[in-house]
Structure formats: C-alpha cells, structure tokens
Chains A and B, each alone.
Chain A
Amino acid sequence: MRNYLIRRSLELIPVLFAIAFVSFWLVSKMGNPFAVLLLNPHVKPEDLQRLMHIWHWDQPIYVRFWFWFKDFITFRHGWGLSVMAPGQTALQLIGSRIPVTIAFSTTSMIVAILLSIPLGVYSAIHQYSISDYILTFFAFFGMSMPTFWFGIMLMYVFSVKLHWFPAAGSHAAFITVKGLPVEFSQAPWYLRVLNEAWYLTLPTIVLIVFEVGGWLRYMRSSMLEVKSQDYVRTARAKGLPERTVIYKHAFRNAVIPIITLIGLSFPGIVGGAMITETVFAIPGIGRLTYQAVMHQDIFVAMALIMIFAFLVVIGNFLADIFYAIADPRIRYS
C-alpha cells in the first residue's frame, strides 16, 4: 500500500508539469502582458524593454516557461505581477480572493454529499415509487440546468422580485450593529459570517443543485446494481433484518463508486464555481480567472489555472487512493 501511494504521488509530478507547460504556451498566445503598460504616457518603450528583460519576456517560450516554473514552485516573486491590479502580485491577488471561493464551494460540496447519498439510497430502495420519480426528475433537473441561467433565474426571483437575498457580491459594505451602520471589516466576526452566509446563499444553492444531480443519479444506479447482487440475496436468505441487509451489506459496497465520482467531478465543480461567481459578481478566484483572461493578465491566469489543475489532479488522485483502500479486491501492483 505504501509503495502504491508513493508511486501514485510521483506520477502526479509529470502530469502537473505537462499541464503547466501546455497552459503556459496557450496563455502566452493571448498576447504580451506588458504591452498594456505603453498606454501609460510615462512609460517609455525602453522601460518596457527593461521590464520585459527582467521577466525574461524577450526570451523563447521554453526559457520563459522555465523561469516562471521555478518562481511558481518556490513561491518566489509573488508568482509574477498582475496587469489588471497594478502594484499587486498574482499571489497577493489570489490570496485575497481565495477564502470566499473556498467557503462557498466546500459548503456546497458538503451539503451536496449529505443530500445526494441518502436520497440516492432512498430512491433505489423505493424504486418506481412516486418519491423515486420525483427524485429522478430532480436529478435530471440538476444535470440539465445550465448553471449560469439557473443563477440568473434565482437572482431574478429571490433578489429582484422577492428581495430575500442580495443580488451580487460576497458581503455588504456596511453592517448594522446596535442600530448603527458599521464598516464591514469593523463589525464583530459573527455578524460578518452571518452577512457573508446571507450573500452566498443563492450561489451555494446553484452549486448544490448542479452537484446533487449527477451524484444522486449515480448513487441510485450504484445501489440498484448492488441490490441485485448474490451476496445481498444471501444476506436476506440468512434471515437478516432488512435494515442490516441494506445498510451493512448493500450500502457499504454501493457507496464506494460515489466517493470516486466525487473525486472525479472536481473539474465540473471548478467550472461551476467559476460561472456562479461570474453571475453573482462574487470576488473569488473563479471570477478572477475570467477577468484575468479578459485582461490578458498572464501571470494571474497561469497561477489560477495551476491551482485548478492541482485541485483536479488531487481529486483524481484521492479517488484512486480511496478506491484502493475501500475495495480490497484492487491490487496495487
């Protein structure tokens, strides 16, 4: 097992390196990140040349890539300068944007797991009942709904028409404390958390519906498949109570592929979070990626793509590892 773990983790390195190079090559094609500085009349062409020389931007792509890559893995030079937020490095920019993304995407994942697994099991046990049909429709609804349109519709109904939730942003500028408006950063922490939760409710719901769809459907079919296995019939024939048969024998085997699926759905979640943040104008790293691409902010875009790639690769990795731990039939050779 330990050797398997070590081998699998070593395999991640060439994959991440390849992703880094391909993305760097693609992102570089977007244009010269320093050219925009010429719009400033105080910047002379010589200054631009000098700056490009410092960042190795006058060199061939593989040299540039190598210097970027060294900076990236050693966290040096702040991962490069940002163009759209002058004076900030990519690392600072990402550091200030990442907490809100982590907050709402992990919340949505946890809620989605807690919803989809029990509902999928219920749906499979009560196959062809009314509740099974309703849950199946809900699963298909989540799978087919374009995230951005669902976000817009929720915003229209709950923010514009009903005024229950704010339409955009991650928190209010001012919070009322004891009847007085207080700047957000000065408010007590529990009020800040409550305020952020209120602002992030709609985007979290969008992500939850998106995630639950696929997982619920998969849990249902996995449970159905396990239900008709011989060992489940044997357990029932032994006279074990139905509860024990379902939860001890069937469920434990049916849930293994779901955990794997959750690991493999990281790319989808990354995309979903990106769209949701863009629709609800949440200052997280998903929206930042979109902005960085639109502004040809190469260092920021690169850093973000690598963060997402890392997440996706880790998701795949954890899925494999968990599968190997949970299913003793898998050999590590």
Chain B
Amino acid sequence: MANEDYVEGGMNTSESYSYWRKVFQRLKKHKIAMVSLWVLVVIILMAVFAKPLSFGNNPYSYIKSVPWASRPELAPPGPGHPLGLDSMGRDAWSRLLYGGRVSLAVGFICSIVGAVVGLFFGLISGYFGGITDMLIMRFTDFMLSLPVLPLMIVLSAVIKGSLWTIIFIISIFSWMGVARLVRGEVLSLKEQEFTEAARAIGETPGRIMWIHLLPNSLAPVIVASTLAISGNIIYEATLSFLGLGIRQPTPSWGNMLNGAQTFMLTAPWLMWWPGLAIFVTTLAFNFLGDGLRDALDPRLYR
C-alpha cells in the first residue's frame, strides 16, 4: 500500500505539494479519522449556523409559557423545543448550538495559541542551545510540574471569566508539550545539511528558523495540537461546570451542565445532550489526531 503512495507522489514535481497530498491520501484511508472529520464538520456547521437552526428561539430569552407543561422552567422536550427548557426557562436546543460556538472557539484558539507559543520557544531553544535552551527548558519543566487544575481554578477565581479570560487561562498551560516536541525536532534538523547550507550562504537565524526549521518540524505539532483541542474543550467544560469558566447567561456545554446535577431527578434530559456533545467532539478530535499521526509519520504507517 505504501509503495503505491510513493509512486503516485513521485509523479509530482513539487516536493511539498506531493508531501501534503500523500498525507491527505493516507488520512483518507484511515476510516475512523475520516468519519471523525465528517462528524466534526457537522458539529462546526451546527455551531456556525446556530441561528437558523434554533427554530427562532434565542438562547438568552425566557420562554414565557409552553402548552405542555405548567411552568416553562425545566419543561420537558416538546414541539419547537426539542431538548426542553432549562431551569431559567430558556430553550436548551438553542443553548446547545450557541454553546458549541463557545466550546469550539476555546478548543481551537487555545490550541493555536499553544502551538504558536510552543513553536516559538521550541525553535529558539533548540536552535540557539546553551544558556537560552537551559532557561527555556527549565521554565517548561517548571510549568509541567504545576498542578494544572487547582491553579486554573484559582486563576479563574481571580480573573473572573469572560470567554477571553478562559482562553487566556487555558492557553497558559497548553504550550509546553509543543515546545518540547519542536525543540527535539530542531535539535536533529539543525545538524542536517540543508540547515548548514543555509547558514553557509549567510542566512540570519530568524530566517533559517522561519524558512527551514519551522516547516520541517510542523508535522508533530499538527498532531499534538489536534489532540490538544479535545483536552482544551474538556478543561473549559470542567471549569464552566464548576461555575468558574464561562459565566451565565452565555451558554457553553460546560455551564449547561452546571445546574444539571441539581435537576437530575426532575429534568434528567438536560444533562444528556451537553455532555454527549462534549464527548462526541473530544472523541472525534482524538481519533482525527490519531489518524493524522499515522498519516504524517510514514514509519508508523502499516
């Protein structure tokens, strides 16, 4: 199977074009990863088109009355409100859709910030070595030896949460893995001929890092960042579940579950869907990351 790929890729003259094409072809053969990709596309589209999909309901507004229940608070599912109403009498389906925007935004943005910061530290640390490397790696090790969740809770109690503060808090703890990965890659890349050649023709360190080292160390970063998205979504959900993340009335999958435990007996349907949404999304990102790892690393491709 692998041989066919190389023949096909070899017909292209552009090296990097054929590389990414091969990656995508290998990914296409990974069935679970492809299914996950489609699931994620659907989830993202649902979040993007939250407004037209929410049957004219607004995630913030109090529904004054529903015909099938005596009170709108905690009303069971019914026509126009497929997931029922929450404890404040708001439509749960539209909150689920709009909550997806928040959860996905946190997942993606924190992951991108983590990748950028990690790349920055990893490139500098690996390329310059010496005291720079030692300082950056000591700091990375220090960050890795922090008890993340207790500190996140303290942080979000100190800087009270809007969407951006939560993104900030989660991002602080999401770059160390990438930094270590990139540093390792750079350490081996900088010994290779093309880096030496670039140095010989007098290219500046910044340019060498940007043009030569960065693109070549990108593959493991993509895998790590995809896997990190699911971790970040869970962090956001956990903080919001504890009442410390995204604050009411803004919906997020985590804070929809905040009150759900209290109403476990009276309105169990409220706790199924947000949790299922988190689970399916994180599962899909994990499968996709796993498929990407196989696709990007031909050594593991069997």
Contact = CB atoms under 8 A, between A and B. Distances in A.
Contacts of B145: 15, 19, 309, 312-313, 316
A140 B146 contact: no
Contacts of A153: 271, 275
A293 B275 contact: no
B151 A293 contact: no
A232 interface: no
B146 A312 contact: yes
A27 interface: yes
Given A30-B157, A146-B279, A278-B242, A155 B147 contact: no
A329 interface: no
Contacts of B155: 26
B278 interface: yes
B154 to A, nearest CB: 5
| A contacts with B: majority SS | helix
Interface in B150-204: 150-151, 153-155, 157-158
Given A146-B237, A305-B147, A23 B154 contact: yes
A146 B278 contact: yes
A141 B283 contact: yes
Interface stretch (A33-41, A46-54, A267-275): A267-275
Interface stretch (B3-11, B13-21, B65-73, B260-268): B260-268
A146 B150 CA distance: 17
A240 B84 CA distance: 64
Interface in A20-75: 23, 26-27, 29-30
B286 A289 contact: no
Interface of B: 141-142, 144-151, 153-155, 157-158, 230, 234, 237-238, 241-242, 257, 260-261, 264-265, 268, 271, 274-275, 278-279, 282-283, 285-287, 290
Interface of A: 15, 18-19, 23, 26-27, 29-30, 140-141, 143-149, 152-153, 155-156, 160, 264, 267, 270-271, 274-275, 278-279, 289-290, 293-294, 296, 301, 304-305, 308-309, 311-313, 316
Given A19-B145, A279-B261, A305-B147, 20 more contacts: A23-B151, A26-B158, A30-B157, A140-B286, A140-B287, A143-B286, A145-B282, A148-B237, A149-B274, A152-B257, A153-B271, A160-B264, A267-B149, A270-B149, A275-B149, A293-B157, A305-B154, A309-B145, A309-B146, A311-B147
